[in-house]
Every structure is written in structure tokens, then in C-alpha cells.
Structure 1
């Protein structure tokens, strides 16, 4: 069966507190840690929890994935250095090389501006992707390329602030 859901998640809010860390090494701040956990709970409640996650290998994306998944081992996680600050076209190329996953939903976790470029590519309209945001796409056509823009329709744009109390 073809992949039915694609989720694009921008990493949760990172900390700028540590001047001695490189951009790649920056961790999440308190708000980001809470938001990542919240988004995991939201995706579970909506029956959209990812079974496959392809993520940038930066500290903040790794921590986002860890907090999103919690202690669950339901997701098969792959960290890819090539996703770190990649543009939309490069991300599509990298995903094409990996091939369509056999289980889903698939979540891609990374950084702007690449993630906003991907949301535009798949939806045909511009959407802001603040930290922790998840753009959820439904598969509408499985006859062609799994990464073709015509294969997906934006179902929901989930923002952490909409679910935090």
C-alpha cells in the first residue's frame, strides 16, 4: 500500500543561551521541549503518529524527535546530515534517493527555509512554519511519483501554540 500521510515538521524552539556552541549543536529551550512533547501527543490523538522519521542530525532536531516520540519505539528514525539547512529541492532529491517508505506516516524534520519551501511545493501556497509546526499532507494520487506535488493535499497545519495551555 502506498504511503498515505506525509508530515513536515520544523524543529521546536532552540536555545541561544550557549555562545560556545555551533548552530548545529544548539539544544532546545524549555518552550521547545514542551512544544515537541505536545506535538507528539497531538499526532497520536489524531492517529497520525509517524512510523518513519527522516530528520536532520542537528542537536535541536534530534531533541525534537526524542521529545516527540517519548519512550515509544513505534517510529523508525534516520538522522541525515544532508537535511541540515538543505533547501527544498535538495530535500526532495535526497528523499527520492531513499525511496518511498513501506510504512507510514512519514515525517521529515528539519529547518527553515527548506521546510517552508517544501510546504509551498506540496500545497501550492505559502505557509509560515514557525518552530514546532507540523504540516500534514494526505495522499491524493498514488499513480505517479510519490514526491510529485500533485500527489499530496494539505490536510492540516498544526502549530504548538494552538495546543498548549
Structure 2
């Protein structure tokens, strides 16, 4: 069985400019619109190309994916998974386990995504990589 690759990406910087918008409907801030394509280019440069993207359906996550995907050298299908919006680590893990893609990209939100990464890292991981 080939090794699987899991790429994890928190959505790009979102805007808080309109306090009347529901959290789900918040767009990307200008900084997020600028940096999301850079992530797509970096994924391409490193050869970290997903077969499938699991993306939270929140606007900022969908827009992040759209901007990242435009920079990839091949078309990648996306599954906009309701389960990823406001998901806790266990829910993200359960959803990822159901996917059969060899190279999977997950785009979601903190704190659940960060908790998921820490859970995957395990006790033997180098803690210095988790410090800001």
C-alpha cells in the first residue's frame, strides 16, 4: 500500500470588518487574499500536490481553497464537508479516515485543526515546532 500524505491548512486570514456577518459568511481579508496563492505556489514547488481537498464550507475556507487551487499545476477536486466547520479534532480525524485519497489536503479552522495536528503529532514529537 502506498504511503499516504496529509496536508493540513488553516484558512487564510479572514476579515472581521463587518460585525453583522455570521461567522460562516466571513470573507478573506486582503492579507488572506494575498497569501493564499502563495501557499498554492509553495505546495506546487515542493511537489505536495493533493488528489483531493477536504474543505470547510465556510466562505473563508472556500475562498482559501479557490486561491490555492488556482496555483496548482493540475485540477484537484474538492469536497466541501459540513463536518469540518467548527469541528473538533476527533471529528476531523473521523472524516479524514473515511477518505481514500493518497494525497489529501484538509482546509479548516482553529482551534479544532490545531488540536487535530497536535493529536497526530503525538508525545514523541519535537515540541519546539509547535511554538509560535
TM-score tier after normalising by the smaller chain length:
0.7 to 0.9
What residue is the counterpart of 2:89 in the other structure? 88
Structure 1 segments, 4+ long, off by >6 Å, are: none
Q: Which has the larger share of helix?
A: 2
Residues matched between the structures, number: 126
Deviates more, 1:115-124 or 1:53-62: 115-124
Equivalent residue for 1:114, pick from 100, 104, 112: 112
Give the TM-score of the pair, scaled to structure 2.
Answer: 0.86
Task: Point out where structure 2 has 5 or more consecutive residues left out of the alignment.
Answer: none
Partner of 2:25: 25
- Gaps in structure 1 of 5+ consecutive residues: 130-165
State the alpha-carbon separation in 2 of the partners of residues 59 and 16 from structure 1: 13
RMSD: 1.9
Aligned to 2:42: 42
Shift of 1:11: 0.4
Q: Which has the higher strand share?
A: 1
Give yes or no for contact 2:41–2:71 (8 Å, CA) kept in 1: no
Given that 1:3 and 1:100 are in contact with CA atoms closer than 8 Å, whether structure 2 keeps it comes out as no
Write the deviation string for residues 24-62 of structure 1: whole angstroms up to 9, x where unpaired.
000001100111100000000000022210011000000
> CA offset at residue 94 of structure 1?
2.2
The residue that corresponds to 1:151 in the other structure is none
